[in-house]
Structure 1
Amino acid sequence: MYRLLRGPQAHKVRRMLMPDSRLQQVTRAITWIRQNYTAPFSIDQVAAEARMSASSLHQHFRDVTAMSPLQYQKQLRLQEARRLILTSAMDAATAAQRVGYDSPSQFSREYRRLFGFPPIQDVARLRQEPGRFAEA
């Protein structure tokens, strides 16, 4: 810890740990999205939670996560739906609704885009190879 705080990158480490650093603000946005991922939200709402402007949130959120806040929400929803289908034997339409999708067809399209297979095929494949769920 001492070397880190005294080394050549110390100023960057200190800046990241500051209460109102960009990283802390993005962390607030991520935490808020994780707690509210099933509900629709506006970027302005998340930006207010992070204490940033909408454009600044987009830029810094993408720098930290390599995706936009809405893409992040979508990925959380799809990952949770996959978990529900796999571990709770829930059908895809019910899982989609539980994680906040209004349209089963939109859910199916986005699921296939992320995981490479529609929900039924993906879950069947994962059940055949149990170790793959942890990797996927």
Structure 2
Amino acid sequence: MLSSVHSANMSPSSLHQHFKAVTNASPLQYIKTIRLHHAHQLVAVQQTSISQAAYQVGYQSVSQFSREYKRLFGQIPSEAKAG
């Protein structure tokens, strides 16, 4: 990442500020949201098991995945799977 930042002639903090201005999220928050949206697609549309979806998008803890999923979508993953 540092080589990318330096080739863009930005310090890491400047990149973070510009990124947040465009996305309204920090880079880590943005990545987490993308991962959770992918997991939602796996669970709700492709009927992937919740644990398998969590692992596929990079979570090592299904309980952590479920907490973050509920925080973003307002429902637990099993509710999305049922509906």
TM-score (norm 2): 0.87
1 or 2 for the larger relative contact order (CA 8 Å, sep ≥6)? 2
Other-structure match for 1:90: 48
1:43-76 Cα distance to aligned partner (Å, 9 max, x none): xx2x542433211111110000000000000000
**Percentage of pairs with the same residue:** 50
Q: Which runs of no fewer than 5 residues in structure 1 stay unpaired?
A: 1-44, 128-136
Structure 2 CA distance for aligned equivalents of residues 91 and 48 of structure 1? 38
Instruction: Tell me the C-alpha RMSD between the 2 structures.
Output: 1.4
Do 2:43 and 2:53's aligned partners in 1 also have CA atoms closer than 8 Å?
Answer: yes
**Equivalenced residues, count:** 80
Matched, 1:121 2:79: yes
Q: Which runs of no fewer than 5 residues in structure 2 stay unpaired?
A: none
TM-score (norm 1): 0.55
- Runs (4 or more) in structure 1 with deviation over 4 Å come to none
Name which one, 1 or 2, has greater alpha-carbon Rg.
1
